[in-house]
Structure 1
Amino acid sequence: MKTKEIREIETKDLAEKISAEEQKLHQMKLNHAIAPLQNPSEIKMVRRDIARMKTELRQRELNK
């Protein structure tokens, strides 16, 4: 997900999306421990998306 796309999401929806992505990341890590994923770099991409969303959420908190 691009930073530009993240900025367009409302704050409430962004918080929900972060929660959903964190659950997805946790599930991906469990699945990868049991049986290797086809594309393990997806874990890295999801982790970075979460970081981008959290950064945007924090910037919004500081700009209030």
Structure 2
Amino acid sequence: MASVELKDLSVNDLIERIEELEVKQEKLILSHKVTQLENPLQIRSGRKELARLKTQLRKRELEA
């Protein structure tokens, strides 16, 4: 997701996306521990996307 798209999201949308990605990330990690993923780089990209969302949310908290 591009930073331009992140700026268009509301705070509630950011929180929802963060919660969804956290659940998805936990499932990916668990499934990777049980059986190897076809593309283990999904874990890394999910972690980076989660960091982007949290950064944008924190930036908005500091601006308010």
Q: TM-score range by the shorter chain?
A: over 0.9
When the two structures are superposed, what TM-score results if normalisation uses the length of structure 1?
0.95
Q: Which runs of 5+ in 1 are unaligned?
A: none
Which residue identity is paired with 2:54? K
RMSD after superposition: 0.7
Instruction: List structure 1 segments (4+ residues) > 6 angstroms apart after TM superposition.
Output: none
Question: Which residue does the alignment assign to 1:3?
Answer: 3
Does residue 51 of structure 2 align to residue 54 of structure 1?
A: no
Q: Number of matched residues?
A: 64
Match of 2:43 in 1: 43
Q: Corresponding residue for 2:32?
A: 32
Identity %: 38
The CA deviation at 1:3 is: 1.7
Q: Post-superposition shift, 1:4?
A: 1.7
The equivalent of 2:16 in structure 1 is 16
Question: 1: distance between equivalents of 2:31 and 2:4?
Answer: 30
Q: CA deviation at 1:59?
A: 0.3
